[in-house]
Amino acid sequence: MDLGLKGKVAVVTGAASQQGVGRAIASVLAREGVDVAVTDIIFEGVQATAQAIRKEGANVLALKVDQSKYDEVQKAVVQIREKLGSIDILVNNAALTGNMAPAHKMTAGAWENEIDVNLNGIFYWTREVLPVMFQNKWGRVINISSMGGVIGAAGLPAYCASKGGMIAFTKTLALEVAKKGVTVNTVSLGIIDSGVYSKGFMDPTVMKAIKRRLPMGRMGEPGEVAELVVFLASMKAAYIQGANIMIDGGITLGISKDNLGIGED
């Protein structure tokens, strides 16, 4: 199926991880003929991502960007326009996770750091990119949120607050740009096998319990997320506006005998 994306230019943030969602999204976009700018604070990682997806034949630009700093985002947008010509698609994928503590024990610095990256960062990127999309009278903004922004997760107050804020920001922005040829949508992830959970992010006992609750019996794959994101970026999704699409294998739907470990009668 031709998604009508050939010749478009995309920015994918948070694209350094080899197993990550950002790299998968950038790769599928490149497969569809999109030129891609990949950004991350870890420059060696985005360089590796760029090298991996150049084989798709797309032009790829790798940039080191700390998106918690507005001036770095501004400079990156200028560089991307100079090198690739325009910006048609923005995938706000970069996020900081790892400050696991209940709210009454989280430090102000840890809170501010996650909000700066996860929420302020997507505002900075969007603010700088939207004028380009308005000029083109066409654009796609896709924000990568989490089930934590929908149902919450004890011990992750800053992360969940930032991801919930992202969903609200998406809805507001979608209303503001609806008549300007731009769509804005959120994709909220469940448990995705992106390597995060194998790096000690979560207590093994908790992780085992979560896996037991997965209705489909497995974690999602980064490639599955990428295919959804690229569809939302395409001409086929022109009437999807302000949506929050869950890609979580059904984990947020509720409980069943199976995911409680009781089994069927």
For the ranges 73-82, 100-109, 227-236, 247-256, the lowest mean pLDDT is seen at 247-256
Domains along the sequence of the chain with CATH: 9-249 (3.40.50.720)
pLDDT tens-place string over residues 220-234: 999 999 999 999 999
pLDDT tens per residue across span 108-138 = 999 999 999 999 999 999 999 999 999 999 9
3-state SS of the chain? CCCCCCCCEEEEECCCCCCCHHHHHHHHHHHCCCEEEEEECCHHHHHHHHHHHHHHCCCEEEEECCCCCHHHHHHHHHHHHHHHCCCCEEEECCCCCCCCCCCCCCCHHHHHHHHHHHHHHHHHHHHHHHHHHHHHCCEEEEEEEECHHHHCCCCCHHHHHHHHHHHHHHHHHHHHHCCCCEEEEEEEECCECCCCHHHCCCCHHHHHHHHHHCCCCCCECHHHHHHHHHHHHCHHHCCCCCCEEEECCCHHHCCCCCCCCCCCC
Q: Is residue 201 predicted with pLDDT exceeding 60?
A: no
Name the catalytic one among 70, 159, 197, 239.
159
Q: Catalytic: 159?
A: yes
- pLDDT of residue 204 exceeding 80: no
Give the pLDDT confidence of 29-86 residue by residue, as tens digits.
999 999 999 999 999 999 999 999 998 788 999 999 999 999 999 999 999 999 999 9
| Mean pLDDT score across all residues of the chain | 92
